[in-house]
């Protein structure tokens, strides 16, 4: 029987909290044309300017959430890999990072060297975006092409609305939802608006109407990150039994001066505190593993902002990480991954 390897891929992390390692990581990340979608000369100029001060600032942020075992994102992804192994009986389960180590190139090359010729590629991003899903797939294809590897890929599709994922999300949050709270904020990672317009096959989506994302279907829904986030939020709320007035959606992690999708998490934190919300729960469903964007941006800075604005308590609900329901859901989703053309 031919072995089918499973390759889990997450974003990545600096090798350490040293400024030089953070600079190296940020350079690789920001120079990806799917992340900063500018012509190479402009991208190089912009990234070089960002790298003057940003690495030191980011190094401090990473240091504030770094674990003794290393980067939380990498450690949690390793734990997920180990949790999945007993349930994926088709072949080995490997882990790679799009940026940093272990790299997609090293991992695919090693699998091919072991005689594996079929790989299920699993980008660990529930919602589609060029800067997450596409760049992982294209990097894998580049490695196979340039290395001349005899590997056939099956690719996990975005699973933002899949019942197994939504049920796992609800199960992981249930202990927090069973406690008293005033409001739940679902904070997704943000994207520049132009990223959405660029991949819109109709050229007519994002018309600023209130129900644009709710009406999205077909090819538009398949490519619209914001619409998929809204579907995740609504599906989760339904699974969790939440009323419409108990939750809302926002987008975090803005970078630069470009217009990003709204509403912004920073603004929502102030608005909710000013509205009288005292105990706020925050979930980050664009991430399946806790990382700097959840632990530091929301868990530390977001909590401080909310309290300063008049709130009393911000509780960060952990990501799926290695929750048993998520492990089971991921295996089922990956087993249905279609063969790439």
Structure-token pair, residue 180: 């008293």
Strand partners, 95: 8
Residues 99, 27: contact at Cβ < 8 Å? no
Contacts of 261 (CB under 8 A, 6+ apart): 190, 191, 192, 193, 196, 225, 226, 251
Separation of alpha carbons 182 and 272, rounded Å: 10
Per-residue pLDDT at 262: 93
Task: Specify the DSSP element, H or E, that contains 248.
Answer: strand 247-252
Q: What was the pLDDT predicted at 130?
A: 96
167 in a known ligand binding site: no
The token pair at 152 is: 């056939």
Name the residue ranges covered by the structural domains of the chain. 4-159+324-336, 163-316
Task: Report yes or no on whether pTM surpasses 0.75.
Answer: yes
DSSP code per residue over 30-67: HT-TTTS-S-HHHHHHHHHHHHHHHHHHHHHHHHHH-B
pLDDT at 90: 95
Taking a C-beta distance cutoff of 8 angstroms, is the pair 229, 212 a contact? Answer: no
pLDDT of residue 214: 72
Report domain 4-159+324-336's class. alpha beta
- Report the topology of domain 163-316: Rossmann fold (3.40.50)
User: Which 3 state secondary structure label does DSSP give 11?
Assistant: strand
- Which tokens hold the place of 256? 């630069």
Q: Do domains 4-159+324-336 and 163-316 have the same CATH topology?
A: yes
Radius of gyration of the CA atoms of the chain, in A: 20
Residue 4 pairs in a beta bridge with 118
Question: Is 195 annotated as ligand-binding?
Answer: no
Sheet holding 93-99, edge to edge: 93-99, 4-12, 118-123, 152-155
pLDDT of residue 18: 98
Neighbours of 70 (CB within 10 A): 15
pLDDT per position in the chain (341 positions), as tens? 679 999 999 999 999 999 999 999 999 999 999 999 999 999 999 999 999 999 999 999 999 999 999 999 999 999 999 999 999 999 999 999 999 999 999 999 999 999 999 999 999 999 999 999 999 999 999 999 999 999 999 999 999 999 999 999 999 999 999 999 999 999 999 999 989 888 888 776 665 555 677 777 787 888 899 999 999 999 999 999 999 999 999 999 887 777 899 999 999 999 999 999 999 999 999 999 999 999 999 999 999 999 999 999 999 999 999 999 999 999 999 999 999 87
Q: What was the pLDDT predicted at 291? A: 98
């Amino acid at each position: 029987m031919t072995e089918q390897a499973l390759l889990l891929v997450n974003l990545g992390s600096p090798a350490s909290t040293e400024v030089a390692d953070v600079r190296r990581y940020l350079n690789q990340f920001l120079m990806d044309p799917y992340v900063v979608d500018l012509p190479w000369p402009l991208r190089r100029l912009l990234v070089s300017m960002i790298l003057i001060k940003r690495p030191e600032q980011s190094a401090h942020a990473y240091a504030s959430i770094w674990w003794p075992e290393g980067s939380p994102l990498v450690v949690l992804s390793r734990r997920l890999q180990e949790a999945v192994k007993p349930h994926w009986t088709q072949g080995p389960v490997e882990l790679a990072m799009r940026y940093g180590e272990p790299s997609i190139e090293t991992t695919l090359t090693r699998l091919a060297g072991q005689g594996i010729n079929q790989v299920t590629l699993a980008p660990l991003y529930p919602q589609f975006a060029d800067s997450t899903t596409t760049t992982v797939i294209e990097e894998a294809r580049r490695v196979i092409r340039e290395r001349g590897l005899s590997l056939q890929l099956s690719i996990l599709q975005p699973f933002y609305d899949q019942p197994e994922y939504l049920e796992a999300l609800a199960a992981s949050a249930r202990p927090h939802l069973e406690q008293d709270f005033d409001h739940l904020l679902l904070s997704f990672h943000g994207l520049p608006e132009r990223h959405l317009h660029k991949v819109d096959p109709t050229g007519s989506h994002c018309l600023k109407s209130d129900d644009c994302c709710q009406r999205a279907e077909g090819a538009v829904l398949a490519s619209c990150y914001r619409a998929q986030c809204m579907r995740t939020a609504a599906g989760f709320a339904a699974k969790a039994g939440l009323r419409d007035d108990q939750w809302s959606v926002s987008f975090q992690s803005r970078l630069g001066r470009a217009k990003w999708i709204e509403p912004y998490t920073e603004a929502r934190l102030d608005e909710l505190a000013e509205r009288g919300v005292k105990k706020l729960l925050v979930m980050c469903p664009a991430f399946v593993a806790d990382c700097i964007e959840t632990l530091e941006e929301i868990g530390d800075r977001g909590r401080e902002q909310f309290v300063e604005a008049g709130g009393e308590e911000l509780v960060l609900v952990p990501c799926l990480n290695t929750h048993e329901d998520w492990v089971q859901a991921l295996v089922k989703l990956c087993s249905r991954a279609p063969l790439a053309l």
